[in-house]
Amino acid sequence: MPSTRILLQNTDASGELARSFEALRAENELATDYPADAVADALDALAHVEKPERDETSVPFFTIDPAGSMDLDQAMHLERDGEGFHVRYAIADVPLYVRPGGALDAETRRRGQTIYMPDMRIPLHPEELSEGAASLLEGQICSAFVWDMHLDARGEVTSASLYRAQVRSVERLDYTQVQGNVDGGGAMGGAVDERFALLRQIGELRAQLEIERGGASLPMPEQEVSEPSPGDYEVHFRPPVPSEDWNAQISLMTGMVAARMMLDAGIGILRTMPKADERDVARFRLQAKALGVAWAEDQTYGAFLRSLDRDDPHHLALVHEAVGLFRGAAYTPFDRDNPAIATPEITEQAAVAAPYAHVTAPLRRLVDRFGLVVCEAVSNGREVPAWAREALVELPEIMKRTDSLARKIDRACVDRVEAAALSSDVGETFAAFVVEDGDHGHGKGEPTIQLVDHAVVATVKVGDAAAPALGEACEVTLTGADIATGKLTFALA
């Protein structure tokens, strides 16, 4: 995967890029400081916190997150259980610190989720919680929601419960460390860590079940901006390592368990998405055929997507085109005691091919806090608290608004760093290939290209020339790079 690394220290581009980030925050009213009254509310809650009586600090939980992360939502413990498995998945107990109706509750509803930018992040919760008391940091005793799940030999969940307990993570790991141990056969040639071997086995079993259900994971390479050192920015496509997918399967499994628990109780909030239109799937098959990528008639599109090689331009073009199969995601609340939302019209998340709920990232996403509270009450035979029940109606709009904002900010930041990276190369010609044809397969409009040697995706002006076909190689000339707006303009060479 290509990347573009640029050193901008003490340059005009560095200052202009920093100013563009500041302007982006101001334009979107993103506060860099957390409101004092909400911080005070959090600190008061910390001073009077009552952790649960149940103590599972002897269980050796561990975390796996991107390197450098401090807001750790999840920790896990995996063990064999006869021919199956026992999974305990601890989730940060954010509700313990957020008082319903208080200043912190109001501010988190305004923010909705954590917004990530190259030079800072705008957290959902104050750092005293998100990177402190509520985070499942190594060695720290925390309150957590513990999902206790038993799986059979195929990876199917046979029983599940949710309770609060005190937990302690014994080790903080990142995906590269886990993958290195598995690929290298263990440190210094030793055995693979049993925890990681179990994670791989369970993750692969769950991925196979996903394919059998007709689910589909979109293997879109994630375009990221990182700052290895002050003023040193890198734009790159981050291909996820297999351990990231294994870890994601644990989270997906938990979300499916939560959704079933909610549906059985008649109250909750699901993450839903309608099935892809058959005409869109048929068109996608024709695109694969046109690009020379084999797709067996009896192979589901989920299995087909998993088989694609993101380093192959033709395959990557198909990944971009597959976005059209993943539309209409929403949050769907339901409560059999509330006529306005008594029955959800859609209960399935089509990519998962099952009902699914967000309950594993409460430090970074608002809706998870309420889903956890609903499920914990249901699992233990108690009434769902009124404050959680009442919030179900307003959560979809909050999450829709903040999801849109998060995507907008992320795209704008990437665009600005791309423009800074190439600002001194206006007039230069670059090798590229077409990843979108401009009009959903009809060959109209401006094609979208990806540069071969840089992690840059942009549209290209065709003019009177014949537009290159999907997946076709071409050469493009950079005609403009505006750091303030993140606008790159290319023309066919």
- 275-291 pLDDT tens trace: 888 888 888 888 888 78
Band (pLDDT 50/70/90 cuts) for residue 436 is confident
Band (pLDDT 50/70/90 cuts) for residue 106 is very high
Q: What is the dihedral of CA 422, 428, 433, 439, to 10 degrees?
A: 80
Q: How far apart, in whole angstroms, are the C-alpha atoms of residue 94 and residue 89? A: 15
Helix, strand, coil percentages (3-state) for the chain, rounded to 5, are 40, 25, 35
Report the pLDDT value the prediction gives residue 187, as an integer from 0 to 100. 52
Query: DSSP secondary structure string, 91-147?
Result: EE-GGGT--TTSHHHHHHHHH-B-EE-SS-EE-SS-HHIIIIITS--BT-EEEEEEE
Q: Measuring CA to CA, which residue among 81, 82, 87 is closest to residue 59?
A: 87
Instruction: Please state the rounded mean pLDDT for residues 232-251.
Output: 83
Order of strands across the sheet that contains 3-7: 3-7, 232-238, 222-229
Report the pLDDT value the prediction gives residue 1, as an integer from 0 to 100. 43
Instruction: Please state the rounded mean pLDDT for residues 290-310.
Output: 86
Higher-pLDDT residue of 323, 28: 28
Percent of the chain with pLDDT over 70: 93
Is the pLDDT reported for residue 40 higher than 80? yes
Q: How far apart, in whole angstroms, are the C-alpha atoms of residue 111 and residue 35? A: 12
Query: DSSP secondary structure string, 140-193?
Result: -EEEEEEEEEEE-TTS-EEEEEEEEEEEEEEEEEEHHHHHHHHHHTSGGG-PPP
DSSP annotation of 365 reads B
The chain-wide mean pLDDT, for the chain, equals 90
Band (pLDDT 50/70/90 cuts) for residue 321 is confident
Q: Which of 2-6, 52-56, 463-467, 469-473 has the lowest mean pLDDT?
A: 2-6
Residues linked to residue 271 through DSSP beta bridges, in sequence order: 331
Q: Which of 114-118, 265-269, 271-275, 281-285 has the lowest mean pLDDT?
A: 281-285
Burial level of 281, CB count in 10 A (0-12/13-18/19+)? middle
Instruction: Please state the rounded mean pLDDT for residues 335-341.
Output: 95
Q: How far apart, in whole angstroms, are the C-alpha atoms of residue 36 and residue 417? A: 32
Is the pLDDT reported for residue 230 higher than 70? no
Q: How far apart, in whole angstroms, are the C-alpha atoms of residue 276 and residue 437? A: 20
Report the pLDDT value the prediction gives residue 420, as an integer from 0 to 100. 87
**Contact between residue 460 and residue 492 where contact means Cβ atoms under 8 Å apart:** yes
Report the pLDDT value the prediction gives residue 77, as an integer from 0 to 100. 98
Higher-pLDDT residue of 241, 116: 116
Instruction: Please state the rounded mean pLDDT for residues 320-330.
Output: 86
The residue behind tokens 């149940």 is 54
The residue behind tokens 């901006």 is 225
CA-derived radius of gyration, the chain: 24
The residue behind tokens 């409560």 is 335
Q: How far apart, in whole angstroms, are the C-alpha atoms of residue 455 and residue 459? A: 14
- 178-196 pLDDT tens trace: 999 999 875 545 689 999 9
Tokens of 235: 């734009």
Record the pTM.
0.90
Band (pLDDT 50/70/90 cuts) for residue 309 is confident
Higher-pLDDT residue of 174, 468: 174
Higher-pLDDT residue of 108, 284: 108
Band (pLDDT 50/70/90 cuts) for residue 441 is very low
Task: Indicate the SS3 state at residue 330.
Answer: strand
Instruction: Please state the rounded mean pLDDT for residues 350-368.
Output: 97
Report the pLDDT value the prediction gives residue 440, as an integer from 0 to 100. 47
Task: Indicate the SS3 state at residue 460.
Answer: strand
Q: How far apart, in whole angstroms, are the C-alpha atoms of residue 314 and residue 311? A: 9
